Amino acid sequence: MARELSYGLSLAGGIITVLVGVLFVIVSLALPAWMIMMPQFAGIARAAIALFGVWGVVVGIILLLGANMLAGKNKERARQGSMLVLIFGTLGLVTLQGFVIGPIIAIIGGAIAVGETSKK
C-alpha cells in the first residue's frame, strides 16, 4: 500500500514539474518584448525564463525516473529511487520548480518510500 502511494505521489510530482517546465519554455518563446519592463533586456529575460523551464524539465524527468525505480520489486533499487526523488525534489523546491507543488508532492512520496524501504 505504501509503495503504491509513494510511487503515485512521486510520479504526480514529476509530471507536474515537467509540465510546468515545458510551460516556461513555451512562455519564453512567445513572450513579446513589450511585456518586459526593460525591452532592451528582452533577450536576456527570455533566455533566463527558458533556462528556468529547461531546469524544471530536467528535474521533472529525474523525478519520474526515481518514481519508476520505486515501482519495482527490488528493495535496493526502490531505496535508490526514493533517495533520487528526495534529492531532486528538494533541488526543485529550492529552485521553485513545478509551481512548488510538484516538488512538495514528490518529496512526500519520497519520504514515504524511505520509510517503507527502511523496514526489515
Q: Of all residues in the chain, what percent carry a pLDDT higher than 90?
A: 73
Q: Cell numbers of 61, please?
A: 524527468
Q: Check whether 39 has a pLDDT greater than 80.
A: no
Average pLDDT over residues 55-60: 98
The C-alpha angle with vertex 56 and arms to 17 and 43, in degrees rounded to 5, equals 135
Specify whether the CB–CB gap between 14 and 61 falls below 8 A: yes
* pTM beyond cutoff 0.85: yes
Q: For 90-117, what is the mean pLDDT?
A: 95
